[in-house]
Amino acid sequence: MKNDNQKLQRTMTSRHIMMMALGGAIGAGLFKGSSAAIDMAGPSVLIAYLIGGIILLFVMQGLAEMAVRNSDARTFRDLVQSILGKYPAYFLDWIYWKMWVLNIAAESVVAAIFLQYWLPEYPIWILALSVSILVTVVNLLSVKVFAETEYWLALIKIVVIVVFIIAGLALLLVTFGNHTAVGFSNLTDHGGFLPNGPTGLIAAMLVVIYSYGGTEIIGITLAETKNSEKVVPKAVRGTLVRIITFYLLPFFIIVSLIPWNEVNGVSESPFVMVFKMIGIPGADHIMNAVVILAIVSSMNSGLYGSSRVLYTQAVDGRIPKIFAHLSEKKVPVYAILMCTLALYMGVIISLFAGSKTFEFLMGSLGYTVLFIWLIIAIAHLKSRKIQPEKTSTYAVKWFPYTTWAAIITLSAILIGIIFTTSIIVTGITLAIYIFITLTYIYKDRFHEDEAK
């Protein structure tokens, strides 16, 4: 057992983890993935994000309740293992790690795409490499420095999104100067509200789930959060309201201002397109800068989450102990460096795939977020049988209906996505899951043989 000097420090507060969850969820999925989702579903993308937000609410409430009941938990595995058993906990830990390392690789490429708005003469791989080095350095500093950096990065993009919402509503509703109020005709023109039918809406759900993914990083902050049993439920409530607001309102403005079939045809973010419409000199450059900061913020959260999964695995003796080593600043330095390898793998992939790297990785990431949410919801459903409601200081209202609603809806989305997603993306994701399962079987048999 590690002494107090070798443990992660509980230095993060409610405002830190709330902003970290926002930082994880408001990134490339919103600023770049928005184009893909609108292209698939048209204006009906609003329905997709509303459904996704409601599911997220139900899942995160369950996560908060389990965190309160198990205040000693450090990560998802600690919450799930006592409820579902070793294999689901092992599988959840590793697909969560896989989600974040692939996500930070994908987002380094997206950040590079937006940097090309200013630096078109530089190839994507050089710009992605520069962003990757910056994120690595920030994470190697103390947890407090990391949390403060993430807090302010997240705050900047939230302020700008609020400005975006106000400006967008003005463009929609107010006539001024040479501008005529746009109104809401774009919601039904160009093929109607559901131009690609139910299939398009279902296909967009993969992007939606991917976009909201990252909020559950609250479950990884448990070991470094003061009074986690009080702070986590508060952070969950505050974060969910903000995430749903910061997705639904911006999407409503985008599909109202811009014909849906024109959004995905340009390299710049829909947010930059709207800021151009405002007509303020340099507004598009300001928005592009904010988009890049937002993506760096999301990468920050991802590198934090993935490194902490490796750290707890090493502490428990499941992987080499070197990944449990903490620096003088109480940062798991080797775990962070191992996870940054994914960033540089993303740079190498972008040498060949360029801007297509993001689209390729996003499909696999959507599957992974879906499975993470399903496992959390199933664990919450079963947790009440192990520990009744009356023993907890925090309990989900309308249980078990909300949890069952999340499980049924996520299962239906999974079936729909299997039929609407590229067979290559589905096959690669399945191969990764089979590999994780085989490593569990091998480890289990190895420990059995040792015991004999």
| Of residues 228, 214, 217, 226, the one with CA closest to residue 73 | 228
Task: Name the one residue in this structure whose structure tokens are 């398009």.
Answer: 200
| Of residues 23, 338, 304, 337, the one with CA closest to residue 146 | 304
pLDDT at 243: 67
- DSSP, collapsed to helix, strand or coil, labels residue 225 as strand
pLDDT at 416: 82
| Of residues 356, 351, 344, the one with CA closest to residue 299 | 344
**pTM score of the predicted model:** 0.77
Query: Is the separation of the CB atoms in 410 and 374 below 8 Å?
Result: yes
Neighbours of 408 (CB within 10 A): 11
Inter-residue long-range contacts of 369-372, CB under 8 Å, 24+ positions, other chains counted: 369/99, 369/209, 369/210, 369/212, 369/213, 370/206, 370/209, 370/410, 370/413, 370/414, 370/417, 371/95, 371/433, 372/76, 372/92, 372/95, 372/96, 372/99, 372/213, 372/216
The ranges of the chain with pLDDT < 50 are 1-5, 9-11, 223, 390, 451
C-alpha distances in Å from residue 105, one per residue of 29, 116, 315, 357: 13, 17, 26, 9
**388, 389, 394, 400: CA torsion to nearest 10:** 110
pLDDT at 276: 77
| Adjacent-strand bridge partners of 225 | 12
Cis bond before residue 270 (omega within 30° of 0) = no
Query: Is the separation of the CB atoms in 332 and 319 below 8 Å?
Result: no
Alpha helices in 174-227 (DSSP H): 197-212
